[in-house]
Amino acid sequence: MTILVTRPSPAGEELVSRLRTLGQVAYSFPLIEFSPGRELAQLPERLAALSPGDLVFVLSQHVVHYAQPLLRRNHLKWPENLSWFAIGRTTALALHTVSHLPVRYPLDRETSEVLLQLPELQNVAGKRALILRGNGGRELLGNNLASRGAKVDFCECYQRCAKIYDGTEEAFRWRERGVNTLVVTSGEMLKQLYTLIPEWYRTDWLLHCRLVVVSERLAIVARELGWQDIRIADNADNDALLRALQ
């Protein structure tokens, strides 16, 4: 098994390093990179506008990575009187580490659907919900909270940008190295990979690779694009991906 990990840095490199320690052949090929979000500077005033007991959702550890230095520069702390939620354990841990606040998160899968099942989110009518995210994504979460009577607002704290590669060059390189297993953690990156690789390499090599993804929704997209050998990790963190790859 030769594995190509398309996760962005630093999580992608960490997974490759762990795979190599276990004797696997693995390479890092990050498809996206991150930069500060267009609304990051507005975060302090957005938080200040909330009332005690209002809800804040942190949808990625990248939110914490960009927001924490901003709050520190402004001599501000993560407000204690709000209810904090994270999309999953890794993000919750990142937030708790810098804020020391209790953070609720779904215990099994890192999806909006599972997050919305938390008991604390069943009766949110009249509350304000601030969703801290990247550029786009998680519309399902906002729509559901709004349908339950919450007043929903978004704040773009970071941006995902596609990394630019020469598709033919990369396809030749990875096929020559015998890559037969791909790790992809978002629909955006899956479509980007599919589009990047020229058609001949796509039908001859890419679609024959085993694909490890992080949700049933992503597996459905993969099947529609033409992959057949698909494995779903039980979560989106590196521990779960490692289990799926072993």
Buried b (16+ CB within 10 A) or exposed e, 97-111: ebbeeebbbbeebbb
Query: Is the pLDDT at 134 greater than 70, yes or no?
Result: yes
C-beta separation of 196 from 205 below 8 A? no
Query: Is the pLDDT at 137 greater than 70, yes or no?
Result: no
The tens digit of pLDDT for each residue in 144-177 reads 999 999 999 999 999 999 999 999 999 999 999 9
Work out the mean pLDDT of the chain and round it to a whole number.
Answer: 94
Burial of 126: CB neighbours in 10 Å, binned 0-12, 13-18, 19+? exposed
The tens digit of pLDDT for each residue in 99-111 reads 999 999 998 777 7
Higher pLDDT, 215 or 177: 177
Report the percentage of the chain scoring pLDDT > 70.
99
119 contacts: CB under 8 Å, gap ≥ 6: none
The tens digit of pLDDT for each residue in 48-100 reads 999 999 999 999 999 999 999 999 999 999 999 999 999 988 899 999 999 99
Single-letter residue type at 159: Q
Strands 83-86 and 25-28: unpaired
C-beta separation of 103 from 84 below 8 A? yes
- Residue 101's pLDDT is 97
Contacts 24+ apart (CB under 8 A), 95-103: 95/58, 95/61, 95/64, 98/64, 98/68, 103/58
Residues in the chain: 246
C-beta separation of 86 from 95 below 8 A? yes
